[in-house]
Every structure is written in C-alpha cells, then in structure tokens.
C-alpha cells in the first residue's frame, strides 16, 4: 500500500494505491488517526487505485469514520475503483463515505 498526501488548508486528500487488507489496514488507520488529531477538518480518500479491500480494511475505514464523527470531522471517498465500489455497496457502507 502506498499513501500519497496532498494538503489544501484544513483539507487533506489521501491517495491510496494497492490492497487494503490485513497487511496494510493498520498503516492506513494510523495515517487517518494522525490526521484526525491534527487541524485537518476534511479527509478525502482517492481509492481509485485500490485493487482489493478485505473485511479488515473495511473495519479500518469504519473505525476511522467513527473517530472522525466524534471529532466533528469528515472522511469522504471522492474516487474509488469499481472493485471498492462493489464491495462497499454490497455491505451497505457506501453512503457513509459520501
């Protein structure tokens, strides 16, 4: 998993590349957690280059989403691959990140 970060004031765009699974979810969750502790108000995820997301990857996203809500911040998926779209749609979580 590669993570690219672009900051625009209180907004950060994270571009994820690779698989979001048991081997990489902790890294993504840690990165999101550090941004949620900062002055960042909005985190936009570009997941257009994520090839696969496992249940553990989904858990990392949901846990980060819950922390964002508690912090009055927002995590949005602005782009996603068809595979990610299909998986998040099938588990009913797509609407959380829009």
**Would you say 52 and 41 are in contact if contact means Cβ atoms under 8 Å apart?**
no
DSSP states along the chain: -EEEEEEETTEEEEEEEEEESTTTHHHHHHHHHHHHHTT--EEEEEEEEEEEE-HHHHHHHHHHHHHHHHTT-EEEEEEE-HHHHHHHHHTT-GGGG-
Domain that residue 48 falls in? 2-97
The pLDDT value recorded for residue 97 is 85
pTM of the full predicted structure?
0.91
Domain total in the chain: 1
Q: What is the pLDDT along the chain (98 residues), one digit of tens a residue?
A: 999 999 988 899 999 999 999 999 999 999 999 999 998 999 999 999 999 999 999 999 999 999 999 999 999 999 999 999 999 999 999 888 88
Query: What CATH number is attached to the domain comprising 40?
Result: 3.30.750.24
């Amino acid at each position: 998993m590669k993570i690219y970060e672009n900051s625009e004031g209180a907004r950060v765009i994270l571009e994820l590349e690779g698989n979001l699974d048991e081997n990489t979810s902790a890294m993504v969750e840690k990165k999101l957690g550090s941004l949620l502790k900062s002055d960042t108000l909005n985190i936009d995820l570009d997941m257009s280059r994520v090839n696969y997301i496992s249940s553990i990857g989904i858990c990392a996203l949901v846990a980060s989403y819950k922390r964002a809500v508690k912090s009055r911040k927002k995590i949005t998926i602005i782009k996603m691959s068809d595979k990610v779209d299909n998986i998040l749609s099938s588990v009913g979580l797509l609407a959380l990140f829009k």
